Amino acid sequence: MKIFLICLIVFVFVFLLIEITDKIKYYFQYNPPGFLMLKYFLVKIPGYLFFALPMAILLAGMLSLLLMAKHSELIAMQAGGIDAISIARPLIIVGLIGSAVMFLSNETIIPWSNRYSEYIQNIEIAGKRETTFVRFDQIWLKSADSITHIRKYDRHNLTLERVSVIRWDSHFNFIDRVVADKAKWWNNQWIFYGVNRTVKTPDGNFVVDTIPSMKGPLNKRPSEFEKGETPTKEMNLTQLGELIDKLDSEGQTPTRYLVDWHDKIAFPLVCLIMAALSVPFAVRVGPRGGGVAIGLAGSLVIAFSYWIVHTMFIALGHGGYIPPMVAAWAANALFGLAAGILLLNACTSI
């Protein structure tokens, strides 16, 4: 645990230096009080701990076992009939605890830390007005019985430009298509202007009417267009799940959010995987001949490869190339399987 705490502090310090280097421009550009910058970095510490924890577990496990190997303690343990699984058990327990801590923090303090640090950076330091970031052009709205496309939304005048609404009944039979040059919010409803309406008659024909103005078939209030999108890093599983259900009920495909939802469950297990990866090389290297350095280097390469592979699969999932569950769990499956095989080989080779 002493080595673990040292490694954890070192990694947090490294992340802090990187953050200071990146954010020092805010200090020279906006010249904020020093306590604001200090508050920003203090609020970011939970995030540093979140990413430093698995690396600290890996290095602490590796260094502890390698120091034992250097003093022939592992040889004595193996000569006494203690296999690699038994040697690994304390580290596996620490990895399980680390995974639980990561999962709980990802549900509680990490979303708050990400949200509040953004507020400090943009509002308190940069002096920007607290505003909602919304895309006001090319808006698509989907529901169980309609699809609406809006070319542009003017939030100041509460108007919509070039609105197109297609509706169907419960049996997916076409009802009508309404295209309006403009729509304006008036008296708690949308009034469409310059309307072309295509209606299907009972005999199967289509009739096109030109209407100067009409009450539009759009139930969204202007405030609903101005609801900003909360980044997934600022949401917990419950909030993300509610967003996915909402998008799904509107007929949209929330692939990106599904990937992030599964990732919030899968990623904390990296602590357990790093703990398992810290064992096999250490129990097999010799105390002399550079074996310790080779084993440490090999395990670090495998561990850092995890981050690359996991990021790659998440990107593929966001792009819709692979299923969300596969994207989130693929790296865990690959590296977890590799850790298990290496542990078993270390055990059978003793």
CA end-to-end span of the chain, whole Å?
27
Q: Tally Cβ neighbours within 10 Å of residue 120.
A: 19
CB 123 within 8 A of CB 247: no
Q: Kindly indicate the confidence band of residue 131, based on its pLDDT and cuts at 50, 70 and 90.
A: very low
Tell me: the pLDDT tens digits for 169-213? 888 888 899 999 999 998 888 999 999 999 988 888 889 989 999
Q: Residue 283's Cα: distance from chain center in Å?
A: 35
Tokens matching residue 131: 């505003």
The mean predicted confidence, pLDDT, of the chain is 84
> Which pLDDT belongs to residue 289?
47
Q: Which of 232, 224, 127, 143 is nearest to 185 (CA)?
A: 224
Evaluate if residue 349 carries a pLDDT over 60: no
Quote the CA–CA distance of 66 and 247 in Å, as a whole number.
51
Report the percent of the chain where pLDDT is more than 90: 36
Closest CA to 138 of 225, 231, 233: 225
What domains, with CATH codes, occur in the chain?
Answer: 2-126+240-348 (no CATH), 137-221 (2.60.450.10)
The SS3 assignment for 250 reads coil
Q: What is the pLDDT of residue 133?
A: 44
Please list the residues that pair with 161 across neighbouring strands: 152, 182
**Residue 287 pLDDT more than 60?**
no
- 247: tokens are 């998008």
8 Å CB contact between 256 and 315: no
Beta-bridge partner residues of 198: 177, 208
Give tens-digit pLDDT for 220-255.
Answer: 888 776 655 678 888 999 999 988 887 777 666 788
Instruction: Report d(CA 46, CA 111) in Å as an integer.
Output: 10
C-alpha dist (Å) from residue 331 to 51, 93, 302, 303, 336 = 16, 21, 12, 11, 8
Q: Where are the beta strands (DSSP E) in the chain?
A: 137-142, 146-154, 159-168, 174-186, 189-200, 206-215
Lowest average pLDDT, out of 9-13, 65-69, 323-327, goes to 65-69
Tell me the pLDDT tens digit for each residue of 32-47: 888 888 898 999 999 9
Tell me the one-letter amino acid at 248.
D
Per residue in 320-334, pLDDT (tens digit) is: 899 999 999 999 999
Q: How far apart are CA 160 and CA 177, in angstroms?
A: 17
